[in-house]
Structure 1
Amino acid sequence: MHPDAWDGSALVLQPGVDILHRIEPLWRQISLVNETAPPEVATTRLISLFSRAVEIALPTQAILQTAIPHCIALQLSDSDDGAWITVADLTASDGRVIPEWMAEAVVKRGMKAERLDVIEILYGTAALAGLPPVKAVQVELGVPHRTAADWIYKARAAGRLEGMSYTPGRQADG
C-alpha cells in the first residue's frame, strides 16, 4: 500500500517469530524507561527505542515515515497537565520542537550530556517526519550547518542515534 492511500486505520502486521525475537530486547528496554526521569529524557529514550523496534519489524520505510510522526506525541511542559503535541504537528507548524530556553542552554559550552539529549530529540523528530536532521538542528538551535553536522556526528559516535536514520530526498509523504 502506498502511504498516500493509507486511511489512518490500524495496519495488521505479521512480522514472524524471528523478527519478534529480534525486537523483544527493545520492548523490554521500553518497559523499563524510568517514569521519574525528566520528560524530555524519557521521551527521547522512548522515541529511540520505538524507532529501532519499528525499523526491525517494518522494512517499509515509506509507511513508517508517514505514520510515525502522527503516532508519537510529546509533552513539552514540565507540568503534568501540559498539552500533548504530535511530531507531525511540531514539524508542520512554525512552532519549536524544544523550548527556546533549552536551545539557548545547550548551545553554551560545557552542556555535553544535555546537548546530546537535545540532538537526539531533534534528530529523531526530524528523521521520523522525513525532514533533514542537520537542517532541523541548525534551525532549532541557531547554529551553523557545520556545527549542527558535528554535533550529530558526536551524538551518533556516543551511541545516542543508534537505530535512527534519515534518507536524503525521501519525504514523509512518500
Structure 2
Amino acid sequence: MNSVPATVAKSAVNHSNVSVEGPSHRLKTCSSAIWSQSTKEEREMFGLLADQAVSSLTWCPLASGRLARPYGQQTSRSANDQIGKHFFDDADHAIIDAVQTVANAHDVTMAQVALAWILSNPVVAAPIVGATAPHHLDDAAAALKVTLSGQEHVMLTAPYTPRQPTGY
C-alpha cells in the first residue's frame, strides 16, 4: 500500500481535493452526489482506492447543504457562501431533484438519502458530515438505515455531467 501515497505525490494520478494521511493511507476526498462522479479526478481516484484496498474519508457529502433541501431553497449560509458558488451551479438542479424524489419515496430527509448514497460506495470509510446542529447528527445516523435500490442508484447517478475541476 505504500505505492498509493507515492503515486499521488508524484502526480501520476489526478488528485483533486485529496490529501494522504499517515501510515494508514486513508485518503480524504470531496464527495457528494453532486461532486462525486462529476469530475474525472473523482472517478479515477475511487477506482485507484478500490484497486489498492484504501478507504476514503469524504468531506462535503451534502454539497454544503444543497443536497439537504429542495433546489433553490436558500439558507443564510448558502446565500452568503462565496466558496460554494464556485463549486455548485444550476447544473446540479437535476441531481438535487433526484435526491428529493428518492427521499420522498422512502419518507426520509434528503440528507439521509445523500449520505446513504455516499455510504453505499465500498471505498468510503465514512463521510465527514460537518454537523452544525443536532438534527444533522440525527440525519447522519438515520442514513445508515436507508437502503437504496439499484434503480434508485441509477436515478441518482443519471443526471451527472462531467465538469472541470474547480478550486485551483
- Place the TM-score, normalised by the shorter chain, in its bin: 0.3 to 0.5
The two structures have a TM-score, normalised by structure 2, of: 0.33
Structure number having the greater helix percentage: 1
Structure number having the greater strand percentage: 2
The two structures have a TM-score, normalised by structure 1, of: 0.32
